[in-house]
Amino acid sequence: MYDKPLFSIIIPTYNRPDRLRDCLASVSGLDYPTDRFELIVVDDGSPQDLRAVVDLFEDQFSLRFLRQENAGPATARNHGARHAQGIYLVFTDDDCRFAPDWLSQMEVEMARTPDYLLGGRTVNVLKDNI
């Protein structure tokens, strides 16, 4: 067990429960120790309650659900960052899915280049949305 997580994954979301559920399911498929990351979901003022979606995953990893008045994804990311406990902040979106080794590879690269920003490969699977 570690004193603090290595990564804080921050996910802003707005009114997309199905995409959020799929995103969180993808996080549950990571091959990374769950005590080495936390997940912070920030609801950007969705008209529908997204708590039930988040609750499906609360026993799988450290998960915090925050809510703010609708102010956009950048404000939601900043709100999540203020609550983060991790050494590194990882920003992603609710429509993203992750390779099982995503955080393992991130850890390798952060150790190799600690003073750099890292980005990942993006594959758009929404064929009707360029």
Domain assignment of residue 119, yes or no: no
Lowest mean pLDDT among 34-38, 52-56, 91-95, 110-114: 110-114
Q: State residue 120's pLDDT score.
A: 75
Domain assignment of residue 39, yes or no: yes
CATH number of the domain where residue 28 is located? 3.90.550.10
Instruction: Give residue 108's domain range.
Output: 7-112
Domain assignment of residue 124, yes or no: no
Domain assignment of residue 123, yes or no: no
Domain assignment of residue 105, yes or no: yes
The Cα–Cα gap between 20 and 122 comes to 17
pTM of the model: 0.91
The answer to whether 62 and 91 have CB atoms below 8 angstroms apart is no
Domain assignment of residue 21, yes or no: yes
Question: Which helix or strand (DSSP H or E) is residue 7 part of?
Answer: strand 7-13
Mean pLDDT of the chain: 92
Domain assignment of residue 118, yes or no: no
3-state secondary structure of 40: strand
Would you call 38 exposed, middle or buried from its count of C-beta atoms within 10 A (0-12, 13-18, 19+)?
buried
Domain assignment of residue 130, yes or no: no
Q: State residue 125's pLDDT score.
A: 65
| Domain tally, the chain | 1
Q: Give which of 62, 67, 108 is closest to 86, Cα–Cα.
A: 62
Q: Check whether 59 has a pLDDT greater than 80.
A: yes
